[in-house]
Amino acid sequence: MGQVKIKVMKNSPIDSKDLSQDNQAPVLVGLNSAELKTLITELGEKDFRAKQVQKWIFEKFARSIDEMTDLSKDFRAVLKEKTVLSPNTVIQTQVSRDGTSKFLIRLADGQTVEAVTIVQNNHLTACLSSQVGCNVGCPFCATGLSGFRRNLTEAEIVDQFLIMQHAVSQGALKKYTPFDRITRVVFMGMGEPLLNYDAVLKSIAILNKPIGIGLRRITISTSGILPGIERLMKEPRDYNLAISLHSGDPHTRDKLVPINHKYTLPQLLKSAREYAEKTGRRITFEYTMLKGYNSSPEDAKTLISRLRGIHCHLNLIAYNPVDSPFQAPPRNEILAFQKIIEEAGFTVTIRGNHGQDDMAACGQLRLYSDEQILQQVEA
The reply to whether 114 belongs to the active site is yes
Question: Could you give the C-alpha distances from 144 to 134, 141, 245, 348, 367, in angstroms and in order?
Answer: 5, 5, 16, 26, 10
Whether 248 contacts 302, CB under 8 Å: yes
Better-scored residue on pLDDT, 191 or 24: 191
Side chain identity at residue 80, one-letter code: K
Least confident of 101-105, 142-146, 249-253, 293-297: 142-146
Taking the mean position of all CA atoms in its chain, how far away is CA 257?
19
Task: Specify the pLDDT at position 64.
Answer: 96
Whether 88 contacts 16, CB under 8 Å: yes
Task: Specify the pLDDT at position 5.
Answer: 53
Task: Specify the pLDDT at position 321.
Answer: 74
Count of beta carbons in the 10 Å neighbourhood of residue 229: 22
Rounded to 5 degrees, what angle do the CA atoms 29, 235, 261 make? 95
**Catalytic residue from among 114, 154, 156, 192:** 114
On the question of pLDDT at 36 being above 50, the answer is yes
**CA–CA separation, 344 vs 160, rounded Å?**
39
**CA–CA separation, 373 vs 2, rounded Å?**
17
Average confidence (pLDDT) over 129-142? 90
Average confidence (pLDDT) over 347-352? 87
Task: Specify the pLDDT at position 121.
Answer: 87
Task: Specify the pLDDT at position 119.
Answer: 93
On the question of pLDDT at 291 being above 70, the answer is yes
Average confidence (pLDDT) over 254-258? 96
Quote the mean pLDDT of the chain.
Answer: 88
**Catalytic residue from among 141, 154, 362, 378:** 362
Radius of gyration, CA atoms only, the chain: 21
Average confidence (pLDDT) over 13-40? 75
**CA–CA separation, 42 vs 65, rounded Å?**
18
Residue ranges and CATH numbers for the domains of the chain are 28-82 (1.10.150.530), 125-167+187-368 (3.20.20.70)
Average confidence (pLDDT) over 346-351? 92
Task: Specify the pLDDT at position 370.
Answer: 40
Confidence of residue 353 (pLDDT cuts 50, 70, 90): low
Note the pTM of the prediction, 2 decimals. Answer: 0.89
On the question of pLDDT at 367 being above 70, the answer is no
State the greatest distance between any 2 C-alpha atoms of the chain, in Å, as a whole number: 69
Confidence of residue 24 (pLDDT cuts 50, 70, 90): confident
**CA–CA separation, 302 vs 335, rounded Å?**
17
The reply to whether 154 belongs to the active site is no
Average confidence (pLDDT) over 319-323? 76
**CA–CA separation, 271 vs 144, rounded Å?**
25
Where does residue 64 rank: exposed (0-12), middle (13-18), buried (19+ CB within 10 A)? middle
Task: Specify the pLDDT at position 19.
Answer: 40
pLDDT > 70 in the chain, percent? 86
**H or E element that contains 305:** helix 297-307
pLDDT > 90 in the chain, percent? 78
User: 128: closest CA among 28, 16, 206?
Assistant: 206
Task: Specify the pLDDT at position 170.
Answer: 95
Whether 244 contacts 221, CB under 8 Å: yes
**CA–CA separation, 141 vs 319, rounded Å?**
10
Average confidence (pLDDT) over 234-255? 97
